Amino acid sequence: MAVFRGTFLGLVVVTLVVSATLSAAHPEGFNFGWGSRWGSKPSTDHHGGGHAPAGGSHGLFPQFYHSSCPQVNDIVISVLQRAIGKDPRVAASLLRLHFHDCFAQGCDASVLLDNSTTILSEKGAGPNVNSLRGFEVIDEIKAELEEACPRTVSCADIVALAARASTVLSDGPNWVLPLGRRDSKTASVKSSNNNIPSPRSNLSTLITAFKRQGLDETDLVALSGGHTIGVAKCSTFKRRLYNQNGNDQPDSTLERSYYFGLKSVCPSRGGDNNITPLDFASPARFDNTYFQLLLMGKGLLTSDQVLLTGNGRKAAELVKTYADNERLFFQQFAQSMVKMGNINPLTGLKGEVRKNCRRVN
């Protein structure tokens, strides 16, 4: 447990060096065990990954591009390896992009559309503006796929594939991913604003938001574990430090040394764009340390810590279980990612396959 000592100094140091640490975490030539072997079982020696069912609901199935674009996985991986090497935060950004896409009118790549005469972009919605990242990486993947397999691989599937690859590249689990989503011709700022929960949400609000998408409390806790990688801006948690309940007092659930460390990164005035890791103990690695930190009162966001303290017996028990059993967490995370990826996809003749992910054809 020595890694958790010295929180005050550690937070400052980790905030400064997290990018360099992440860069070193992904050596060249890493073998993912999935490549383009469509329909085969993913490697199960990678932290218990590969246990999610292949699925086939909603008209999606893993072998969708078996004949039309068999190299799709290899292209996604190649682009992501380069992108993460240049900007290590890309992995977490792409995982989050998939979540924000699926929670607004389904997994249809609507979040990628730019403003136009007919589109009011979801990028301007409250949960997304000056926050979502990774669009240029999706553009690069799409460009290479258009060269290899023109008008074949949808932007919605690219987002889902990039989220999986980002997890695996961060030493997380692998899963069999159902494919065949098509791209929307519309976007919905209203859906983004209404359906994507705030980082200040209490447990009840989180459970309701996930239930609205067909996801249960187990999915909520497991998918929240994606915060084992990535960073957050001070603006998303500053209230916890200075005025959590409107009484000019910090959140009482914050562990004391962690609280003082966060204050050194996020002053009461200014600094809203300063960043700090969501999981300061192992920011480069997709693991279960996120849950161990919650047990210590060292969850960064309100929406993180309430999984343990929010008067939800099931959520709290799951936090304890995943903190103790990384393999079980990885299994459930993989299953919940497949389930989330099945939220209202467009299939068949619905929607389209965009040539440019930023605009309709």
Q: Which long-range contacts (CB under 8 A, 24 or more apart) does 3-10 make?
A: 3/281, 3/282, 4/281, 4/293, 4/296, 4/298, 7/255, 7/257, 7/258, 7/260, 7/261, 7/280, 7/298, 8/257, 8/260, 8/261, 8/264, 9/261, 10/261, 10/280
The counts of H helices and E strands in the chain are 14, 2
d(CA 153, CA 175): 19
pLDDT at 50: 40
Q: Work out the average pLDDT over 51-57.
A: 44
pLDDT at 66: 96
The predicted model scores a pTM of 0.87
Q: Work out the average pLDDT over 230-255.
A: 95
Please give the backbone phi and psi of residue 222, each rounded to the nearest 5 degrees, phi first: -65, -45
pLDDT at 57: 57
- Catalytically annotated residues: 100
Q: Work out the average pLDDT over 116-131.
A: 96
pLDDT at 188 over 50: yes
Q: Work out the average pLDDT over 264-270.
A: 95
Q: State both tokens at 68.
A: 């039309």
Task: Choose between 283 and 319: higher pLDDT.
Answer: 319
Q: Work out the average pLDDT over 108-117.
A: 98
pLDDT at 35: 35
Q: Work out the average pLDDT over 261-265.
A: 96
- Inter-residue contact 181 to 108 (CB < 8 Å): yes
Q: Work out the average pLDDT over 103-128.
A: 97
pLDDT at 21 over 50: no
Residue 311 pLDDT class (50, 70, 90 cuts) = confident
Q: What is the largest CA-CA distance in the chain?
A: 61
- Inter-residue contact 14 to 283 (CB < 8 Å): yes
pLDDT at 54 over 70: no
d(CA 251, CA 240): 5
Q: Work out the average pLDDT over 39-60.
A: 47
Please give the backbone phi and psi of residue 40, each rounded to the nearest 5 degrees, phi first: -80, 155
Q: State both tokens at 341.
A: 């990826």
pLDDT in tens, 157-172: 999 999 999 999 999 9
Q: Work out the average pLDDT over 279-307.
A: 96
Average model confidence (pLDDT) across the chain: 88
pLDDT at 11: 52
pLDDT in tens, 70-82: 999 999 999 999 9
pLDDT at 299 over 90: yes
pLDDT at 25: 37
Q: Work out the average pLDDT over 19-48.
A: 37
